[in-house]
Amino acid sequence: MRNVTVAATQMPCGWDVEVNIDQAEQLVRQAAKEGANVILLQELFERVYFCQQQREDFRAFAVPVEQNPAVLHFQKIAKELNVVLPISIFERAGQVAFNSVVMIDATGDILGIYRKTHIPDGPGYCEKFYFSPGDTGFKVWSTHFGRIGVGICWDQWFPETARAMALMGAEILLYPTAIGSEPYNDAIDSSQHWQRTQQGHAAANVIPVIASNRVGREVIEDSQITFYGSSFIADATGDLVKSMNKSETGVICHCFDLDALDRHRQEWGLFRDRRPSLYEVLLTKDGQV
């Protein structure tokens, strides 16, 4: 029996990096107090979701991993609380920048970096202006509390992301997120679609999925997004075992027996019955072989 308690946090973000880091720390401490071993913070929580607008001055937010204030801060917190913390950052790497997650183990050590694979580009979500496509490939880390795979926001809409990490031995899938209304049509609400997509990843791979999203209305010039929260924990059948509403700040936790889940995956035979030799169509751009 390997019982691991996972947590998702949810909070609004402003422009003050220190204030955001402090608020995130308080939520991490709350989750740890509730027994969490693996705690997920939302995407790019250091400041407002700046990708709403294409601004040259916003590029200066990117710094190398070893200089990032959130990473340096939460390395100490992870060690103090004995928890695993994936930290989402705007990473500068040489002449380019990435939307990255730094995986911090319960010792405070950095296990590695994942750079976001799928980069969206549309009104209010102008990420291609800031981020190069990730060059790390999908990543799964052996942490003190199980093998953990992390995708970032837009990655969560692609079943290939979840399946790749499952094939790499992931026992838990995490998705830090920043998603909400569409600037061109504030009435669009994709929150249930967003949840169901990831619930499907959990069910198809028989692996728990945890998603952390931000809340609050953020305005930059003539663009605004109301982030719809709805952070959740889905079990290995895809059922929502814990979820938050569209506006609250807080923490949700749930405990999983990773050994029991491993036996359950083996019983289902989903990976035994795969037919990779017939999946060539997945490697083509237009579906033609």
Active site residues: 43, 116, 153
Tell me how crowded residue 275 is: count the other CB atoms within 10 A of its CB.
6
* Nearest residue to 103 via CA among 151, 58, 56: 151
Cα 256 to Cα 266: distance, rounded to the nearest angstrom:
17
Q: Are 118 and 108 in contact (CB under 8 A)?
A: no
Helices (H) and strands (E) in the chain, counts: 5, 14
Q: Going by C-beta distance under 8 Å and a sequence separation of 6 or more, which residues neighbour residue 71?
A: 65, 87, 89, 102, 104, 110
Cα 53 to Cα 274: distance, rounded to the nearest angstrom:
43
Cα 43 to Cα 95: distance, rounded to the nearest angstrom:
22
CA dihedral 158, 159, 160, 164 (to 10 degrees): 130
* Residue 60 structure tokens: 């200066």
Tell me how crowded residue 268 is: count the other CB atoms within 10 A of its CB.
13
**Residues listed for the chain:** 289
Q: Going by C-beta distance under 8 Å and a sequence separation of 6 or more, which residues neighbour residue 276?
A: none
Q: Give the pairing of strands 172-176 and 96-104.
A: unpaired
